Structure 1
């Protein structure tokens, strides 16, 4: 039996890498990164999302890599009211939320939005057990 320790990175297939980098940097506060070979990504904490242009895929790749097929959940320490204000200030439509959900570590409250490719993005805050 093997044991998986953690996720190192994810890969998103996007229609436009520049537009994706701009969204993840300006709206979600991630750090733009360039790897050898001019490959681009965004970083948050010790995690990376590599961005592959749909018209120039880097192999090996998923069986059906298409923009807009991902569903990602990011955890914030900010109050969700602050996140809502920030999203509105950046003219980002909130599709749903705040709503109560279950995260991998317990109860969370989430907001749902979409990135420029239509990927579903969940921004969640773990509920304070004292509340």
Structure 2
């Protein structure tokens, strides 16, 4: 039998400068600090619309050489937004912060890629309505993102509520 998880609950990152990272995640995502643990030089943050205790933990560890891109370990975290309109707003915010690194369409998801001040990569993505996945059900292409065209087609369509199905599939 497998673990019956429903989603990734939170992520924890080691960062060089805790205050610098707190400022970044507050400005980029509007996160609030819900707990500080000075003995561990740590902070726990929550997204504004989250029902979670905390969505991100940050542990300050001081300056260290960054892990080389492509080394074993975490590649990126993905933060989901509810509408394509919010993805457009995210692009503006990440560009303003100098964090935006790229964007692409993966068929069922539309994605922006960025990095925090320590080089921790993350994705901000919007998912098509489940009923619209079609040929993307079992594929994840990497294609050019036409964000203006996607916004024109999907503006106002909310999909975050589709995250957890009501029943667990048998198996």
Indicate whether the TM-score tops 0.5.
Answer: yes
Corresponding position: 1:101 with 2:102: no
- Structure with the bigger RCO (C-alpha within 8 Å, sep 6+) is 1
Within 5 A, what are the aligned runs for 1:54-65?
Answer: 54-55=61-62
**Structure 1 pair 121–32 and aligned structure 2 pair: CA distance change class (3 A):** same
Contact 2:14 2:60 in 1 (8 A): yes
Runs of 4+ in 1 over 3 A off after TM superposition: 35-39
Per the normalisation by structure 2, the TM-score is 0.57
Q: For the pair shown, which has the larger CA radius of gyration, 1 or 2?
A: 2
Structure (1/2) with the larger helix percentage: 2
Q: Which runs of 5+ in 2 are unaligned?
A: 133-152, 155-171
Displacement after TM superposition at 1:34 (Å): 1.8
**Superimposed CA distance per residue, residues 67-126 of structure 1 (whole angstroms, 9 cap, x where no aligned partner):** x964111001242222212223x33242111x1126xxxx11000010011011100011
For the aligned residue pairs, the C-alpha RMSD in angstroms reads 2.8
Contact 1:42 1:49 in 2 (8 A): yes
Structure (1/2) with the larger strand percentage: 1
Per the normalisation by structure 1, the TM-score is 0.71
State which drifts further: 68-77 or 19-28. Answer: 68-77
Partner of 1:61: none
Give aligned pairs, total: 116
